[in-house]
Structure 1
């Protein structure tokens, strides 16, 4: 059975719920306002997303086959842009809600790791956009042979998001390894000893996450992720708690 709350506990719980409601409300309002403002620049945003397709050549351009498809794609782009623009507000509201419950040492971890997490995510997305996206598009068009491509804007947007967002997430691997090593769950020797299994798992995950079934795009995703895995081994060595034994070799 649930424990009966004391009057003080009820007041504290209601205060936390009120703070959460306020944080959610402010975040949603910020996202909506930013999304509405972004709608007026949806054509420019779409032009940026189309640039890799234009760079492939062959006069490729996007089409839409549904009456409302073009409008809803612009709405989707506006919402995504709104999330990006309003992110500082959302992050601040989230931090204001959880900060009172953290110890000073935990706050220092957040101050240190959060900028790194943000930079790594942006780096992963930009890496996929400026390098992999164009190569994958060129390969997919080339392998289609004499078939004439008619790419719908909705499918293309989904393709771009499916390729870029996962890269932003997998670039967080060193941070995850650092955190798990600091709390004693993971060790550099464990990562080094399981390289071959990690490589197999990376290729399997790449096959699932890549938007196309071709081995080229899967390899393009798997290779950078494996390099991140190797970097994570050194991160684990540096993050090893000071009271542990000597650093193990990774070879």
Structure 2
């Protein structure tokens, strides 16, 4: 396909993705009020523990509208994620082989539900993180939180957990590309387990160890499942390479007598 046709195709895919995000943003506009109340709830509870005033504030006249528009589009991007992820795949897939298309489609099929699951987990743990961070407010003091800073914090936290759930898919993809072996990933399991439990300790919905294990468990299961898939893929690749090398050697051995007779 000529470069100009590629650009036209890219433009069409981007337009469809933007339409999906905008339509999702309409749903986000409708869901704005209940979601904002849920996001604001942990800030409201701070006053119960500090005895002060805690609230989310807007710094200018136009801030409420900007805030609602930004949050609605963010919700729309999450709702429409299957649409724009598919558009990305549809733009890339014509340049791939049939096997690569199967792999890519499998990665997309795994990435969408994992990303949404991470978003859901992030939504569940954000109130606990806010409560944990603001519990250090001294008694009698107030927390006047800027709305834009608050939504930036929530967005980063939710997206971080959403992307954390995509790490296993990335590991499998890198392994299938032959960049890193499963055994190499497995060597870093101690550091990974430590980081997962640190994250779980901060974001766990309760102060007990059971809540921490409930949050850390799915991440560790996904991580070690990805390592298992990488190791199985390495073994399959090694067997294929060994078989190819044996066939090449056998072909060379069969060709040698004929070459010797020609030399004679």
Calculate the TM-score normalised by the size of structure 2: 0.69
Unaligned runs of at least 5 residues, structure 1: 1-8, 207-214, 246-251
1:27 maps to which residue?
Answer: 17
1:142 maps to which residue?
Answer: 135
CA distance in structure 2 between the aligned counterparts of 1:69 and 1:185, rounded to whole angstroms = 47
Report the RMSD for the aligned CA atoms in angstroms: 3.4
Structure 1 window deviating more from structure 2 (14-23 vs 42-51): it is: 42-51
Match of 2:69 among 75, 88, 106: 75
1:152 maps to which residue?
Answer: 146
Distance 1:18-1:24 versus aligned 2 partners, 3 A rule: same
- Does structure 1 residue 236 correspond to structure 2 residue 230? yes
Shift of 1:52: 4.6
In terms of fraction of residues, the more helix-rich structure is 2
Residue pair 1:56, 1:137 contacting (<8 A) in 2 also: no
CA distance in structure 2 between the aligned counterparts of 1:118 and 1:124, rounded to whole angstroms = 10
Shift of 1:73: 0.8
Shift of 1:179: 1.6
Structure 1 window deviating more from structure 2 (75-84 vs 28-37): it is: 28-37
**Partner deviation per Cα, 1:97-146 (whole Å, 9 max, x = no partner):** 2222221111111222212111211222222221x323222222221121
2:84 maps to which residue?
Answer: 90
CA distance in structure 1 between the aligned counterparts of 2:89 and 2:230, rounded to whole angstroms = 27
CA distance in structure 2 between the aligned counterparts of 1:238 and 1:145, rounded to whole angstroms = 54
1:49 maps to which residue?
Answer: 39
Unaligned runs of at least 5 residues, structure 2: 204-211, 240-264
Shift of 1:196: 4.8
2:249 maps to which residue?
Answer: none
Match of 2:178 among 152, 174, 184: 184
Residue pair 2:39, 2:127 contacting (<8 A) in 1 also: no
> Matched residue of 1:155: which SS?
helix
Residue pair 2:89, 2:105 contacting (<8 A) in 1 also: no
Shift of 1:35: 2.6
Distance 1:152-1:184 versus aligned 2 partners, 3 A rule: same
2:57 maps to which residue?
Answer: 63
